Amino acid sequence: MATLELRNVNKSYGSGLADTLKNIELAIDAGEFLILVGPSGCGKSTLMNCIAGLESISGGAILIDGADISGMSPKDRDIAMVFQSYALYPTMTVKDNIAFGLKMRKLPPAEIEAEVARVAKLLQIEHLLGRKPGQLSGGQQQRVAMGRALARRPKIYLFDEPLSNLDAKLRVEMRTEIKLMHQRLKTTTVYVTHDQIEAMTLGDKVAVMKDGIIQQFGTPQEIYNDPANQFVASFIGSPPMNFIPLRVQVRDGQCFGRLDSAAGAPGQACCELPLGAAAELEGRELILGVRPEQIQLAAAAAALPSLRAEVEVVEPTGPDTLVFVSLNQTKVCCRLAPDATPQVGSSLDLQFDPARVLLFDASSGERLRPGKRQATDNKVAQFKLG
Amino acid sequence: MTSVSVAQRRSSDVLLPPGEGGAKRRMRAVSLSRLAIHATLILACAVYLVPLLVMLLTSFKTPDDIRSGNLLSIPDVFTVIGWVKAWDGVGGYFWNSVKITIPAVLISTLLGALNGYVLAMWRFRGSQLFFGLLLFGCFLPFQVILLPASFTLGQLGLANTTEGLVLVHVVYGLAFTTLFFRNFYVSIPEALVRAARLDGAGFFTIFGRILLPMSVPIIMVSLIWQFTQIWNDFLFGVVFASGDTQPITVALNNLVNTSTGAKEYNVDMAAAMIAGLPTLLVYILAGKYFLRGLTAGAVKG
Amino acid sequence: MSSTAVITKASPLDVLQRWLPKLVLAPSMVIVLVGFYGYIGWTFLLSFTNSRFMPSYNFVGLQQYARLWDNDRWWVASQNLLLFGGLFIAISLVIGVFLAVLLDQRIRREGFIRTIFLYPMALSMIVTGTAWKWLLNPGLGLDKLLRDWGWEGFRFDWLVDPDRVVYCLVMAAVWQSSGFVMALFLAGLRSVDQSIIRAAQVDGASLPSIYLRIVLPSLGPVFFSALMILAHIAIKSFDLVASMTAGGPGYASDLPAMFMYAHTFTRGQMGLGAASAMLMLGAVLAILVPYLYSELRGKRHD
């Protein structure tokens, strides 16, 4: 149980190269589960290695329980790590693998014996203790790797993409187990992944990274519902958020954006979105972000006007049916109920709540937030057929 | 299934059966070509084996037998007199070679293992450059360092000593042994070292407890490679040793190429066998590692 | 955020740990810098002096190189190297590839046969030279064997024929090294993607044409490696000449390595020997640089 704080952490390899980590600021409470998520090369693994002390930082400070540990060697930081490749010592038995760290710390043999037994029981790997890693399946190796980390009872666990070498089914199982384990042990954990589902399901806090910069740091719900920019919005969520380019028109002090459904039928299936009352936005290119599940079949009861669009592709996935249409020459995914089975080529009446869509700057990808006043003004969102 | 096919090497179920009519004709053509292949291979084996056979036959003949018979004639009397005389001539040098080879092999392998460990797992600025510089040593024509090396050995008081030869072999064997271990350790995930560091193991503990136990195959490769290289060396032996400290290759060459007295070919051949037996034996016992050394060391340079 | 940072200093032991890799590598770095590059520089320096039995540092410019240029024996040695190297490499490659392809045909005792082809590689060149010197002995060697077997007019005295003695060296060297080429190519053949071969079979290609047009061309890197290593063996070969011919008759079978040794260590022409050694290094570099260049370029493409 320890707090972890990163203060303005920087990391660069040599002077000529770009920084791999830029001004990283993070703080989590004792017992929290922090997810570092991002595409490969975003710096998340480097950051984890810096926390572990396997790589040195070029600037800033890393604090565990308020103590600066940035100058310490890895072994003194009281951190345990589970590696993507498991990194089990191939010539040692499972038992020796788990005991190695304890032996290095010169624990009395009896204590080591007891700790190995405890961990083995916890992870249900007692029957594997005499085997070598080469004789284990992927899932078993994964358990042993976790056992090695657990045995030390460190202040912080680091997980470096621990599930990415497992097949899909096992991955889901182990994900749940890790969550269970964390709920029981309540040890501060940092978990690196590129899988946004793992990020959403496991984390108390999520840091989305790109190009060595933390794009957003918050709870999974904040990241999902209120992404800081287009990158975060696109990275979290599956199927990903739709991004529809549009141009702002100002009419009566109100901003509108036009959505054209099909090139072939102009004026037939267009609608305009009220985007608030910022007159200076006139003529500006924006990106409209709307999640697939926010787009629904038009229902007469709803106060939302509908938009007619031609169905291009239908993908039934079981729990949902994904329907793809074109809006402003962009492919848009709509996540409909499984009983919706529209024909390709047919027309669908769709609607979504304009109050819930997100707006991004077309060039920078930064989030544009409407002011408070505008939000109340537009309590009733309206679609206008053009 | 007698048809020759590349694809069938590993799985025999990939070829569709040929049409009924052509099948027989093809079978015959195929078995003929297979016969030819086997015949060629057996012939080639014979060619490769003949020199060894001739050496053995000659070494057991009497000088009279050698003059009256030919290379492959069976000796009238088998005699070990050639071997006895050869051992008298080169036996002492055989032990010289042993005294040079064993320490040189062990030291250069140990140093190579440590170097490879650092170069693969503890890279630092400049270590790659160093590896590049070292690699060139695998291709260095030794003529270009003979003179300075002999001056240095003289300065160190190691000229014409076994220790001097050991030193030279260690220095110039380092390139290959480092290459072996470095390439081996590069293929081991770095996470292993990281895990061990987090577990609290230091530089030598990681090496001794984790990497060395995994390194048995590459240790074998390095030991065997160095053994054959150093045992078979002639250049360093002839330049840096003289008289009583010469290795067996130099002694063999002196024995064979002296022009005094009548040539005793049986003694020459027995001496050549004595010089060649240790490496031949190693090759037969551990051919797998020998081949790996040749290909790994030579190709991946 | 308000917590005050406790600065922890690294202990001396940690500092030692941090320096250990460099400390461990240091002796080897010294060895390489001095024993490899320093000595090359030293030899380079000597090649500009008039050193004879003992090193002297009277610099005479390019005189030693000029003497090499005018030296008939050096030219013979160099030409021999071209002839010996060219034939040795070409024949070893042809035989090695041929045997590898034959062995690739699911031969039952493959491992055993491979062992036989490769064992000469384990022998010292001195042993090889001794054996072949005896095999090619004019009067008692092959010469007599074939006559005894009924080929009355057979004569074989190349070992003492100044025009043909180099071919004897080629024979022994090929015997020693072709098995190695075979092993290299066999490993290469085994790594060829089987689906390519199946695709060619589906396209109706015959076995020889599959090998000649698809499999072997894909082994370009192996060819290159083999070529490199054989050329390197050829340039360095000294033991074989020493034991088989000692450069004779006369200096008809001299090679640069032999020339260097003889001038430096027995004839008291240290400066000249150093110059010849530098030229040998130049020859190795001429082969090595394109090889390394292609290796590095190949890696960048990966």
Q: What percent of chain B has pLDDT over 90?
A: 46
Long-range interactions of B238-244: CB distance < 8 A, separation 24+: B238/C242, B238/C261, B239/B146, B239/B150, B239/C261, B239/C265, B240/B149, B240/B150, B240/B153, B240/B159, B240/B160, B240/B164, B240/B165, B240/B168, B241/B96, B241/B160, B241/B161, B241/B162, B241/B164, B241/B165, B242/B160, B243/B160, B244/B92, B244/B96
Task: Name the residue with higher pLDDT: B9 or B140.
Answer: B140
Mean pLDDT of chain C: 85
Contacting C residues, span 2-21, partner chain A, CB-CB under 8 Å:
3-10, 14, 17-18
Please tell me the predicted confidence (pLDDT) of residue B33. 81
Q: Which CATH superfamily is domain A4-235 in?
A: P-loop containing nucleotide triphosphate hydrolases (3.40.50.300)
Q: Does A250 touch chain B (CB under 8 A)?
A: no
User: Into which CATH architecture does domain B81-299 fall?
Assistant: Orthogonal Bundle (1.10)
Write the CB contacts of B105 (distance below 8 Å, at least 6 apart in sequence): B223, B226, B227, B230
> Mean pLDDT throughout B167-193?
91
Rounded to two decimals, the ipTM of the complex is 0.86
User: Which residue of B191, B197, B213 is in closest CB contact with A75?
Assistant: B197
Structure confidence at residue C84 (pLDDT): 93
Residues of B in contact with A150 (CB under 8 A): none
Confidence of residue A252 (pLDDT cuts 50, 70, 90): confident
Chain C stretch 17-76, residues whose beta carbon is closer than 8 A to a beta carbon of chain A: 17-18
Q: Is the pLDDT of residue B20 over 60?
A: no
pLDDT score of B81 = 87
Would you call C25 and B54 a contact, using CB atoms and an 8 Å cutoff? Answer: no
Classified as helix, coil or strand, A137 is coil
pLDDT band at C143 (very low <50, low <70, confident <90, very high): confident
Q: Each residue of A99-156: pLDDT tens digit?
A: 999 999 899 999 999 999 999 998 899 999 999 999 999 889 999 999 999 898 899 9
| Helix, strand, or coil (residue A112) | helix
Task: For chain B, say whether C223 makes contact (Cβ under 8 Å).
Answer: no
Q: Do B134 and C32 touch (CB under 8 A)?
A: yes
Judged against a pLDDT cut of 50, whether residue B18 lies above it is answered with no
Are C124 and B295 in contact (CB < 8 Å)? Answer: no
At A384 the pLDDT is 29
Closest to C212 measured CA to CA, from C93, C46, C98? C98
Q: Is residue C66 a contact partner of residue C275, using CB atoms and an 8 Å limit? A: no
The one-letter amino acid code at B12 reads: S
Summarize the confidence of residues B140-150 as an average pLDDT.
91
pLDDT classification of B95: cutoffs 50, 70, 90: very high
8 Å CB contact of C14 and A69: no
Average pLDDT, integer, range C45-54: 87
Better-scored residue on pLDDT, A100 or B14: A100
Percentage above 70 pLDDT, chain C: 94
CA distance B282 to chain A (A): 27
Neighbours of chain B (3+ CB pairs under 8 A): A, C
Cβ of B201 within 8 Å of Cβ of A148? The answer is: no
- Residue range A51-60: mean pLDDT, rounded: 89
CB count within 10 Å of CB C81 equals 23
* 3 state SS of A216: strand
Contact B147 C210 (CB under 8 A): no
pLDDT at A56 over 70: yes
Which residues constitute the domain of residue C159?
71-301
Max mean pLDDT among A346-350, B239-243, B291-295 falls in B239-243
| Least Cα separation, residue A91 to chain B (angstroms) | 6
* Cα–Cα distance, C84 to A86 (Å, whole number): 54
Per-residue pLDDT at C223 exceeds 50: yes
Q: Are A67 and C5 within 8 A, CB to CB?
A: yes
What is the tens place of the pLDDT at every residue in C1-22?
333 444 445 577 778 888 899 9
Query: CA C159 to CA A220: how far, in whole Å?
Result: 85
- Interface probe with B: pick from A15, A78, A86, A100, most Cβ of B within 10 Å: A100
Strand A156-160 to A188-193 pairing: parallel
With CB atoms and an 8 Å threshold, state whether C3 touches A63: yes
Q: Mapping DSSP to helix (H, G, I), strand (E, B) and coil, where does residue C227 land?
A: helix
Quote the minimal CA–CA distance from C23 to chain A in Å: 18
Residue C102 has pLDDT above 80, yes or no: yes
If you measure CA to CA, which chain C residue comes closest to A73? C14
Place of tokens 């999902």: A224
- Helices C72-103 and C165-190: angle between axes, nearest 10 degrees: 40
Kindly report the CATH number that applies to the domain delimited by A242-385.
Answer: 2.40.50.140
Structure tokens of A211? 């190009």
Query: What is the model's pLDDT at position A242?
Result: 93
The percentage of residues in chain A with a pLDDT greater than 90, rounded to a whole number, is 44
Does C261 map to a domain? yes
Mean pLDDT, all residues of chain B: 84
Rounded (10°) angle between helices B216-232 and C125-135:
50
Q: Nearest CA to CA, how far is C299 from chain A (Å)?
A: 21
Whole-prediction pTM: 0.83
Q: Which residues touch B223 (CB under 8 Å, ≥6 apart)?
A: B105, B109
Phi and psi at B64, nearest 5°, equal -65, -45
- What span, in angstroms and rounded, lies between the C-alpha atoms of A47 and A58? 12
Q: How many separate domains does chain C show? A: 1
Between CA B47 and CA B53 the distance in angstroms is 10
Average pLDDT (A11-40) is: 86
Q: Which residue ranges does chain A devote to CATH 2.40.50.140?
A: 242-385
Q: Residue C237: which CATH number?
A: 1.10.3720.10
Chain B residues with CB within 8 Å of chain A CB: 189, 191-192, 194-201, 205, 209-210, 213-214
Q: Cβ B41–C32 below 8 Å, yes or no?
A: no
A13 or C72: whose pLDDT is higher? C72
Does C236 sit within 8 Å of B142, measured CB to CB?
Answer: yes
What's the CA gap between A309 and A289, in Å, rounded?
Answer: 18
Which chain A residues touch B205 with a CB distance below 8 Å?
Answer: 104
Is C8's CB within 8 Å of A27's CB?
A: no
DSSP string, B22-53: HHHHHHHHHHHHHHHHHHHHHHHHHHHHHHHH
CA distance B267 to B61: 9
Are the Cβ atoms of C39 and B252 closer than 8 angstroms? no
Of the residues B108, B138, B139, B150, the best mutation for testing chain C's interface (the one with the most C CB atoms within 10 Å of its CB) is B139
Please report, as a single letter, which amino acid is at residue A196: Q
What is the spatial distance between Cα B121 and Cα B116, in angstroms, rounded to a whole number?
8
CB spacing of C10 vs A66 below 8 angstroms = no
Chains touching A (3+ CB pairs < 8 Å):
B, C
Within a domain: C248: yes
* The pLDDT of residue A313 is above 70: yes
Which residues make up the CATH 3.40.50.300 domain(s) of chain A? 4-235
Write down the pLDDT at residue A372: 41
- Tell me the angle at which helices C63-70 and C72-103 cross, rounded to the nearest 10 degrees: 70
What are C122-138's pLDDT values in tens digits? 899 999 999 999 888 88
Q: Which residue in C has a C-alpha nearest to residue A77's C-alpha?
A: C8
pLDDT score for A377:
39
Sheet with A307-310: strands ordered across: A296-297, A347-351, A307-310
- H helices of A124-214, where? 138-151, 168-185, 196-202
Mind telling me how many Å the CA of B190 is from chain A's nearest CA? Answer: 8
